[in-house]
Amino acid sequence: MTTSPRVRLAATDHEPARDLPAIGQGTWYLGEGLAPREDEVRALQHGLAHGLTLIDTAEMYGDGGAEEVVGEALADRRDEAFLVSKVYPWNAGRDSAIAACEASLRRLRTDHLDLYLLHWPGSISLDETLEAFERLREAGKIRRFGVSNFDVEEMAALSALPGGAACAVNQVLYHLGSRGIEHSLLPWQRERGIPTMAYCPLAQAGTLRRDLLGHPEVKAVAAELGITPTQLLLAWAISPNHGARDVIAIPKATQLEHVEQNAAALAVELDAESLARLDAVFPAPSRKTALDIV
């Protein structure tokens, strides 16, 4: 695992730079009874053991149920994980964000989050949210803050606010079949050293959802490389783009075999020919499009 690709979170005034694995673990739909709880807990622990040490959750998922599953998985190994959670936009006020974070911490059975994200832009002023994030940081309850589902204009507005430029990441929908962010959002963030967390990296959602895993070219390229189509999609999402390694994919997987395949995708380096073949079928955007969301 030592040679696995890593993505660097920049140092802040209060935290040193932090290198994270380029593939983490999502948790949407955990804690909803879709799979036995012990299977969900075991899958997250299995992922940790295989180097998928970033865990992404949210107060929204399963109405707190996903955070409870994560809390159980991390009960005796909190230090092994880089833990990310998200606040609903309507809970992102000066005081409500503090209460929401404290409730997340209780469900997660921890005293701090490594990263706390605003789940999507809402109607509460970002000034207020930033103030709450700063109070949470001062209290040691969060180490860094970031956002999710922000397009370029929203990122620019955020970074113009006092403290806003310290935004650590933006988490957005990104997969081979939905490349809109490559036109302007990704370059904007890259210029400022703000990594992207790619959600739905296996194309399980989004308005541009396609059956990527069953696409003949995806299957053909994967077969020639001796990997699965899902590993191809993950390796593609995290492959260095314009020389930068700044995308972290966060697939959700409950089946242990899936977890292992996803971890093994960290070792897959796509060659130029494979990337070109995928580009030919799934071209990069030539113009700005609306941010794809779930």
By three-state DSSP, how is residue 91 classified?
helix
Residue 116 annotated as catalytic: no
Hey, which residues between 249 and 278 contact ligand NAP (CB under 6 A)?
250-255, 258, 261-262
The whole-angstrom separation of Cα 85 and Cα 102 is 11
Residue nearest to ligand NAP (CB): 26
Catalytic hit among 61, 116, 174, 199: 61
User: From the CB of 171, what's the least distance to ligand NAP, in Å?
Assistant: 5
Pairing of strands 6-9, 170-173: unpaired
User: From the CB of 16, what's the least distance to ligand NAP, in Å?
Assistant: 26
Judged by CB, which is closer to ligand NAP: 61, or 188? Answer: 61
Q: Which is it for the CA torsion 240, 251, 134, 94, positive or negative?
A: positive
User: From the CB of 243, what's the least distance to ligand NAP, in Å?
Assistant: 26
Q: Which of 171, 178, 189, 239 binds ligand NAP (CB under 6 A)?
A: 171
Hey, which residues between 230 and 249 contact ligand NAP (CB under 6 A)?
230
How many residues lie near ligand NAP (CB under 6 A)?
Answer: 25
Which residues have C-beta within 8 Å of that of residue 63, sequence separation ≥ 6? none
Q: Which of 91, 104, 149, 239 binds ligand NAP (CB under 6 A)?
A: 149
Judged by CB, which is closer to ligand NAP: 62, or 162? Answer: 62
The whole-angstrom separation of Cα 24 and Cα 56 is 7
The whole-angstrom separation of Cα 163 and Cα 140 is 17
Q: Quick check: 46 binds ligand NAP (CB under 6 A)?
A: no
Q: Which of 18, 20, 56, 108 binds ligand NAP (CB under 6 A)?
A: 56
Judged by CB, which is closer to ligand NAP: 27, or 274? Answer: 27
Which residues have C-beta within 8 Å of that of residue 20, sequence separation ≥ 6? 6, 7, 8, 9, 53, 54, 82, 248
User: From the CB of 252, what's the least distance to ligand NAP, in Å?
Assistant: 3
Pairing of strands 18-21, 6-9: antiparallel
The whole-angstrom separation of Cα 218 and Cα 229 is 6
The whole-angstrom separation of Cα 48 and Cα 159 is 33
* Contact positions vs ligand NAP (CB under 6 A): 26-28, 56, 119, 148-149, 171, 199-202, 204-205, 230, 250-255, 258, 261-262, 294
Active site residues: 61
